[in-house]
Chains A and B, each alone.
Chain A
Amino acid sequence: MKYINKKNYDPMVEACKNPKFKEYYQDACSRIDLAINVYNFRKQKGLSQEELAEKASTTQKIISKIENSQMNVGWDLIMRVLGNLGLKLKIIDSSIIELDCTQQYVYRILSDWNATNSKETSSSKSFVDHTTPCFFSNKLSNSN
């Protein structure tokens, strides 16, 4: 293995200089958000990864990968997994959410009880009030 011994070398700072870094970071955030939600709601429903996989017509390995935020999830699969957890996916304009992020899209997963308030989601205030705290509230400016 090669060895670098630069006293002032900071791999994180170096990585941040890459123009693609922000994109990588946002992808990672989206996957973490999805992973946390799938894990939490699966536990809440008392399902094992195998049971959820069976319901969603996929394999335990795939569920594990989602929960490890390790893979890009296809639309059909994500809908099946979330559907079996009693969740639905909404794609919304990030500008209506009062968050410090510049993303063009945000995955927002609403639970069953939030879904009952869906009529109110047209106003940004009620949307924010009724949804669960979201990972995206972390400032993306930290990535710079």
Chain B
Amino acid sequence: MKAVYYFDIKKSIAPAKEFFTQYGLNLSKDHKDSVMAQIRARINFTLGRNGQAVPPIAKTLRNYSFFEIMCQDGKTLIRIFYFCHNEEKLVLLNALSKPARYEKGQKKRIVKIIDKELNITEQYRQNFIQNPNHYEVYK
């Protein structure tokens, strides 16, 4: 099994890769690289388990057909969504970051955003199943 980034033709980006790029922008180089190392270790761990979501590193999502890898960076939780295609590819569909703990009055708004992202991710999954060549190699 190998890991790949889902590539969205309409947006001309790989959403998960784009997230990693944008997330690192506001961090110092060492901090960014440390976060990337943590993410890479989790992805490789999941690859080593043939994409199986092994808690507490990864988990299944209720009502969705994909899984998530979790990575905490201080007070921020990074959620990376993936699914396994034909037991050949671990497709990194999308990723998002959220506060590990919600501040007062923020929860409802953030949950709404996350739900929206989850629905978009489900759409990405369906797009990939229809066009399995739309991916970027995860190096």
Give me the interface of A with B, judged by CB distance under 8 Å.
Answer: 1-4, 9-13, 15-16, 18, 20-21, 24-25, 27-29, 32, 35-36, 39, 67-70, 135, 137-138, 142-143
Q: Is B54 an interface residue (CB 8 A)?
A: yes
Flag if A9 contacts B72 (CB, 8 Å): no
Total A-B residue contacts, Cβ distance less than 8 Å: 88
Residues of A within 8 A of B20 (CB): 11-12
- How many Å lie between the Cα of A36 and that of B70 in the bound state? 13
Main SS at interface, chain B? helix
Flag if B17 contacts A32 (CB, 8 Å): no
- B17-32 residues with Cβ-Cβ distance < 8 A to A are 17, 20-22, 24-26, 29-30, 32
Known: A1-B25, A35-B57, A36-B56. A12 touches B36 (CB 8 A): yes
Main SS at interface, chain A? helix
Known: A1-B25, A21-B37, A28-B37. A12 touches B139 (CB 8 A): yes
Flag if B30 contacts A13 (CB, 8 Å): no
Of the candidates A2, A12, A39, A135, the one whose C-beta lies within 8 Å of that of B40 is A12
Residues of A within 8 A of B72 (CB): 68, 70
22 A-B residue pairs with CB within 8 Å: A1-B22, A11-B32, A12-B17, A12-B40, A15-B32, A15-B36, A16-B36, A20-B33, A20-B34, A21-B33, A21-B37, A24-B34, A29-B41, A29-B45, A32-B41, A32-B42, A36-B54, A36-B57, A67-B56, A68-B56, A69-B56, A143-B37
